[in-house]
Amino acid sequence: MQSGFVTADDVTAPGGREAGGEREERVVIALLVVACEVAFWVLLAAGLTLRYVARKPRLGAALLLCEPLLEVVLLVVTAVDLKNGAEPDWKHGLAAVYIGFTVGLGHHTVKKVDAWVAHRWFGGPPPVKPPKYGTARAIHEWRTAARWIVAAVVALGLLQAAIWYVGPDGAISSLRSWQQKMGLVIGINLIIAGSYTLFPKQAPRDEAPDREPADRL
């Protein structure tokens, strides 16, 4: 005679997946985001070490080029998790945002750290400081805003793809919440850049005017 008791092994989450399995996969996504961030800085440090300490600039550059692979791995794992029926939550949204911000800001971050390391320890020229006044400052702010906007737009696109994949009947509130945050990022950057355009800060009369460096991207 079959027992009427229900064991923990019999409890499954919606869609036929075990509740414990869902929790484990959500933890995996969160840990993978952290691992990608840590790996980004590890690869950056290793690439710069090969470039300046080991005097192998090509090998160091090749290692730095491996950094986008981290985002590819994160994107694939997130997509597979959703494909297997996982309910999208804030961790999937965080993965999309991380990929977007790495696309928009990763290259610029690598260049800044590279210039700082070269100057600090290997006799390179000092990093170029951003201009302070006038049109040059406004141009600098718009270029900075452009990087953040690219990051937010990429994140918005990935979030929207996840929403379309899940469908209107799915649990998409957390993904929508991340989209709202990305819209806020775009708005803040437009306001900051616009303020420097409409109300440029003027240089003191005894100070030479700023010039926007040619390579700021």
pLDDT tens, position by position, 36-65: 888 888 988 898 888 888 888 888 888 877
Which of 65-69, 89-93, 127-131, 195-199 is most confident?
Answer: 195-199
Query: Any residues with CB less than 8 A from the CB of 25 and at least 6 apart, and which?
Result: 81, 84, 86
**Residue 198 amino acid letter:** L
Q: Which two tokens stand for residue 8?
A: 């923990």
198 or 72, greater pLDDT: 198
Q: Is the confidence at residue 5, as pLDDT, over 60? A: no
